Chain A
C-alpha cells in the first residue's frame, strides 16, 4: 500500500473513524451522516468484512451502498433488517456498533440530541428528541464523529439533557446493569479520543498532524488526559482514498468540514 499524494482532512478522519469497527465481527455497522457512513463502508471492505450493513432503508447489503443519488434498485439485498425489527435484532441483543454525531458530549461520554438550553418544558432550541440514543447506549457499542471540535460540543459539566448513557458515576442507578455501556472512539477534526483514561475518562490517543494537545484542550470544556503513547493520525493510503471515492461519487464528503481543509502528512 502506498501513501497517496493528496488527501483532505475529512478523508483522513474517515480512515481514522473506520478503525472504530476493526475486529467487531458480525454486527451491524451504522454510520449516521456522510463521514461515519463512509467510515463504516471502508471498514467493511478493508479490515472487517464480517460487518453487516443496511442500505439505510430496510435491506442488509454485502456491498455497501454509495451515498447520494443512485438508482433505487441499484442495491442488492442479501437480507432484511427493517426498523420494525431493529430493536429485536440489532439494538437490544447488542448486535450493532453505531457512530453518531451528537450536539453535546460531556466528559463522561453522555450525549445530547434532545434540546439545548432552557428546560424540558420550554427548551431554548428544540432538536430531534432522544431517538434511539437511550437504548443504543445501554445495549450496544457506540462511537462518535465530531466535525467541529469546540467547547459548544464538548461541554463543561453535564450535557443539557442526557439522551445517551455514558460513564457518569452519579447516574449509576443501584442494581441496574450498565455492563454493556461500551463507548469506543471519538473522532474530531482535531484528534482521535477514546475512553481509556482513569475511571473511563475521555482521553486523546491521536493528534492530527499540526495539532497540539494544548490546542485540543483549549477547544474542550473539560480536562483531558493524553495516552502515554500519543500518536499522530496516519495519512490515508491510495487504496483507502479510492474506496472512499467509490462510495461517495458525488463528493458529499467535501462539505463535511468547514472549507474542506487539506489533510497533512506526519
Chain B
C-alpha cells in the first residue's frame, strides 16, 4: 500500500485570541525587530499514512483532524502532503 508523508498545520480559528502570538509580537520590537505584525503560533503535526491513494489518505486525515488532532471550537487545520 502506498505511503504518504503528511504535515498537518494547526492554527487558531479566525477571531480566536492567540495569546502566544500576541506576546511574541509585543516582544519583537524590544529586540530591534520592527514592522512585524500578524504573529500567530500554531502546531505542526507530522506523520506517515498508508492508503490506497492520495484521495483516500486525505479523507482519513481530515477525519482524524476533526475528531482528534484539533478542537474545531478554537482550531483550524491545513493538510499538506510532503512526499
* Same complex origin of A and B: no
- B-contacting residues of A (Cβ < 8 Å)? none
Tell me the B residues contacting A by CB distance below 8 Å: none
